[in-house]
Amino acid sequence: MSNPEQPTHTTTPDPRDRVPVGMAVPSLRIAYVTVPKAACTSMLWGLVGLADDRPGVRQGSSDIPEVTPELTIHDWRTWPESLTTLDRLPDSVLAEGTDAAGMSWLVFSAVREPLARLFSAWQSKILCQEPLYVARYGGQPWFPPPPRSTGEVAEGFAAFVEALGADRSLAVDDWHWISQVRLLAIDRVRYGCIAGIDRAEPGTAHTSGLEIQPLDSLVAQVNAHVHDQGSSAVLDLARRNATLLPLSAETVSAKTAQLVADMYEEDYLALGYEPPSLESAKGLSWEPLLRAVRMLVDRHERIADLARIARERLSKIESLESANYHARQESAALQAQVEHLEDERTRLGERSRSIEDALESLVRDREHLERILHSRTWRWSEPLRRIYARTR
């Protein structure tokens, strides 16, 4: 993974072959399966609030180039220890809604009308040119320039949708445009509740049998489950990651809307949605919104520059730390050699002193022998020594 937020690139495995992405609070026995651009940022922060008394205290520690503090929640490395990712849960939690001890879990998610979700994702990530997506797709022919009219917005979105339809690998390259049905893994996960963030009334999808609740109903069900676990915390969905430009006949053509309906047919059928009929946003002043989008593009470009500078400086720091580490290792090795040489010098010094003592002893013995040889007693006793030698 190049980004802790999500799996990326064309080597991403098919969502049907992996554990859904999401967040769990083991102490409260709740698990949330993430569907991007369906209130997922709000949901994740809400779960942090349920699990931790100080939500957001670690968001400044994230080093990925997300463009707002709220989006750093997608960096799972900054989560409090009270939270975990879904792939660390026992298989039975998602498949059966119970853990190894037989305790019931609430597994839930939220969905959105597919066209509105895709347009929001494209607008947020591509049109506003978030740094992560400029790095990944900035060289593609369908990547749009900052828009100056609603017509340019519609053309840019149409080019993106056509690219999704023409390139299967692109369609599964990023979880923001992967089918919601596949992200939910509805054939492998037992849900206690799925909400439609744009639903006013509950409804049952005929093809999947899923009952899609209004968002308020999901919040109430989560809170009831949390209270059953002995906690007085409540799910707060105050944080938002909203987009500026509304879905309308000015920003999305009827042809593009139909392409999306065909591409995401499984979502429409399984989640009980009907393709929307786009209406003109009459009376809306578009120029301030488009100006705001261009300002976001400039801001995101600056964030990308700062992230690049930070990465380069971090790389230099890591290089210097590595060089410092090796220098310390070499210094320690040299110090060990110095100590060894000091020990050897001490040993040789002791040996030298021992040799000097032996030499001094020999000199003394020689001097003593010389005195004996030159003494009168030695000279006078020479005849006796000769007689003694012959008798032997």
User: Rounded CA gap, 15 and 183, in Å?
Assistant: 6
CB neighbours of 103 closer than 8 A, spacing ≥ 6? Answer: 29
**Is the pLDDT confidence value at 12 over 70?**
no
Asked if residue 304 is part of any domain, the answer here is: no
Residue 53: the pLDDT is 53
Asked if residue 93 is part of any domain, the answer here is: yes
Residue 61: the pLDDT is 62
Q: Number of folded domains in the chain?
A: 1
Percentage of residues in the chain having pLDDT higher than 70? 90
Nearest to 122 by CA among 168, 72, 158: 158
Residue 73: the pLDDT is 81
**Is the pLDDT confidence value at 242 over 80?**
no
Say which amino acid occupies 90.
Answer: P
More confident residue, 337 or 67: 337
**Is the pLDDT confidence value at 13 over 60?**
no
Average pLDDT on 78-87 reads 87
- Confirm whether pTM is higher than 0.85: no
Asked if residue 270 is part of any domain, the answer here is: yes
Task: Describe the chain by its helix, strand, coil percentages, rounded to 5.
Answer: 55, 10, 35
User: Rounded CA gap, 323 and 317, in Å?
Assistant: 10
Helix (H) or strand (E) holding 367: helix 286-373
Residue 67: the pLDDT is 58
Residue 239: the pLDDT is 59
Tell me the pLDDT band of 11, cut-offs 50, 70 and 90.
Answer: very low
Least confident of 75-79, 102-106, 169-173: 75-79
Structural domain of 85: 15-284
Write out pLDDT tens, residues 21-50.
999 999 999 999 999 999 999 999 999 889
User: Rounded CA gap, 175 and 62, in Å?
Assistant: 20
Residue 156: the pLDDT is 97
Q: Based on the number of CB atoms within 10 Å of its own CB, is 105 exposed (0-12), middle (13-18) or buried (19 or more)?
A: buried
Residue 24: the pLDDT is 94
Say which amino acid occupies 369.
Answer: L
Q: Based on the number of CB atoms within 10 Å of its own CB, is 225 exposed (0-12), middle (13-18) or buried (19 or more)?
A: buried
User: Rounded CA gap, 304 and 327, in Å?
Assistant: 34
Least confident of 97-101, 113-117, 139-143, 268-272: 97-101
User: Rounded CA gap, 268 and 181, in Å?
Assistant: 9
Residue 3: the pLDDT is 40
User: Rounded CA gap, 123 and 186, in Å?
Assistant: 27
Nearest to 305 by CA among 148, 131, 180: 131
How distant, in Å, are the alpha carbons of 18, 36, 57, 275, 300 from that of 279?
Answer: 38, 25, 43, 13, 31
Nearest to 24 by CA among 59, 62, 1, 50: 50
Tell me the pLDDT band of 79, cut-offs 50, 70 and 90.
Answer: confident
Residue 128's CB is within 10 A of a number of other CB atoms, namely 23
More confident residue, 330 or 14: 330
Write out pLDDT tens, residues 259-301.
999 999 999 999 999 998 899 988 899 998 989 888 888 877 7
Residue 15: the pLDDT is 52
Residue 305: the pLDDT is 73
More confident residue, 74 or 48: 48
Q: Based on the number of CB atoms within 10 Å of its own CB, is 85 exposed (0-12), middle (13-18) or buried (19 or more)?
A: middle
Say which amino acid occupies 361.
Answer: S
Say which amino acid occupies 345.
Answer: R
Asked if residue 57 is part of any domain, the answer here is: yes
CB 14 within 8 A of CB 182: yes
**Is the pLDDT confidence value at 352 over 80?**
yes
Asked if residue 353 is part of any domain, the answer here is: no
CB 289 within 8 A of CB 153: no
Average pLDDT on 82-93 reads 92
123-127 contact pairs (CB < 8 A, 24+): 123/157, 123/243, 123/244, 123/245, 123/293, 124/37, 124/241, 124/243, 125/174, 125/176, 126/156, 126/160, 127/153, 127/156, 127/157, 127/245, 127/293
**Is the pLDDT confidence value at 8 over 60?**
no
Average pLDDT score, the chain: 86
Asked if residue 303 is part of any domain, the answer here is: no
More confident residue, 392 or 231: 231
Residue 9: the pLDDT is 34
Helix (H) or strand (E) holding 23: strand 22-25
Asked if residue 242 is part of any domain, the answer here is: yes
CB 272 within 8 A of CB 210: yes
Asked if residue 7 is part of any domain, the answer here is: no
